[in-house]
Each structure stands twice: as C-alpha cells, then as structure tokens.
Amino acid sequence: MSLLTSDDLEAILLSVKVAATATVVGLPPALLVAHILARRRFPGKSMLDALTHLPLVLPPVATGYLLLVLLGRQGMIGAALAKIGAVFVFHWTGAALASAIMAFPLMVRPIRLSIEAIDRQVEDAARTLGASPAARLWRVTLPLAAPGLIAGAVLGFARALGEFGATITFVAAIPGETLTLPSAIYLATQTPGAETRALALCGVSLVIAFSAILIGEAVGRRAAPR
C-alpha cells in the first residue's frame, strides 16, 4: 500500500505551485526594495528596512490573521476585491500571497548585499556613457547582482515551500484547494497511526528543498560575473 494518499500528492503539487508563484510574484518587488535600500538615501529608510524584515520577527500566525482581517471577504480591502472577483481567503492564491510575504525578507537580503557589493564606479561609467537608469539596471546592475538574485529566489522558494503558520491561519487546510505540504505533515502528525506517512511527507519536503538549493547553486555558478 502506498505511504501517501491522493490528498498528500495533491498537497505536494500544490506546495510547489504555491512556492513557485510566491517566488515569481515576490522577486520583482524584492529587487525594487533591495535596490532602493542599497542605493538610495532618504528620510524613512530605516522604517522601510524595518518593515521589510518585519515578517522575520512577527509570528507567522499573526501575519496570517492580519491578512485575514485585511483581505477576508468582510475585510477592509477584501470586501472591495470580492466585488471584482478577486478572492484570496480560503483559496490557493491566498496561500501564495501569505508565503510571498513571509519569504520577502529572505529574497531582499541577498539581492541587497549583491547590489551593495557592486562598485559604484561601474554604474557611474555607464551613466557617463549615456545609459539611462533602466539601461544601467538591466545591462549593468542585474548581471552583476545575478548571484544574489538567484540566492534570493532559492531562499524565497524554500521559505514559501515550508510556510505553515500564516497560510493555515489565512486560507486553512482544505484538501485540493489550500492543503499544502507543511499542513499535510501537521495533520499526519495529529492522526493516530500516520507516523510513517508523516515521515514520508517530510522526506518529500527534504528532497524538493534540497533539489532547489542544488539547482540554485548550479545556476548561480553559471550566472556569476567573470
């Protein structure tokens, strides 16, 4: 008999989908915030830095509850979104949103460090040669910061894959809809006689996360500026 149920297999596929979506959606704003923190000086920079890292210190359950208050069907923002058909609560897109928020600081940090490590004279030379800000970002900054971008994407994916507290609070654990791999592991640990199934799910989670790290390392080595 198979160790994993059909709900478990759906949870594994959904977790990969949620983590990939959270990474793709979260990476552009993470790059923007990282670039601002690395290259700009302005009043309130410390506040932006603190807000960026807030999900690291705020309990995940608190983050999930705040999302529920704001984006629930009767929430401050959720009620307006529901009128146009955009619903996050108890939907897999809500799990992706919660995971993206929790992973955001881990995406920003390595990107910011990579940008700060770039010699400003290189960007100044591009500006002197007439490159626009967009051109400098696309042709100079991004290629040089590629290892940080890849590291941020890998860390974000791994964090989103393992997110539990915020997602289960915001979207619950509905089989086939919002039941992610961490939620499936938790439910298995609470089910008498399902210890072997819980270990099998943990093994799957380990394989996915380890594979993501190895792929990220390989791509990072290829993308590293020579």
Tell me, yes or no, whether 1 lies in a domain.
no
Cβ neighbours, 10 Å, residue 192: 5
What is the C-alpha to C-alpha distance for residues 205 and 152, in angstroms, rounded to an integer? 19
* pLDDT number for residue 1: 42
* pLDDT number for residue 223: 66
CA 40 to chain centre: 24
Tell me, yes or no, whether 192 lies in a domain.
yes
Tell me, yes or no, whether 159 lies in a domain.
yes
Tell me, yes or no, whether 23 lies in a domain.
yes
What is the C-alpha to C-alpha distance for residues 23 and 2, in angstroms, rounded to an integer? 31
**Structure tokens of 213?**
């790290």
pTM: 0.90
Domain count, the chain: 1
CATH number at residue 99: 1.10.3720.10
**Structure tokens of 154?**
């890998």
**Structure tokens of 180?**
């992610």
**Structure tokens of 48?**
């932006």
* pLDDT number for residue 224: 63
* Full domain range(s) for residue 191: 6-223
Tell me, yes or no, whether 176 lies in a domain.
yes
Cβ neighbours, 10 Å, residue 130: 7
Tell me, yes or no, whether 50 lies in a domain.
yes
* pLDDT number for residue 226: 52
- Whether residue 211 contacts residue 138, with contact meaning beta carbons closer than 8 Å, is answered with no
Q: Which residues contact 100 (CB under 8 A, 6 or more apart)?
A: 21, 22, 23, 25, 26, 156, 160
Tell me, yes or no, whether 158 lies in a domain.
yes
Q: Which residues of the chain have pLDDT under 70?
A: 1-2, 223-226
**Structure tokens of 96?**
């992706």
**Structure tokens of 173?**
């654990």
Tell me, yes or no, whether 13 lies in a domain.
yes
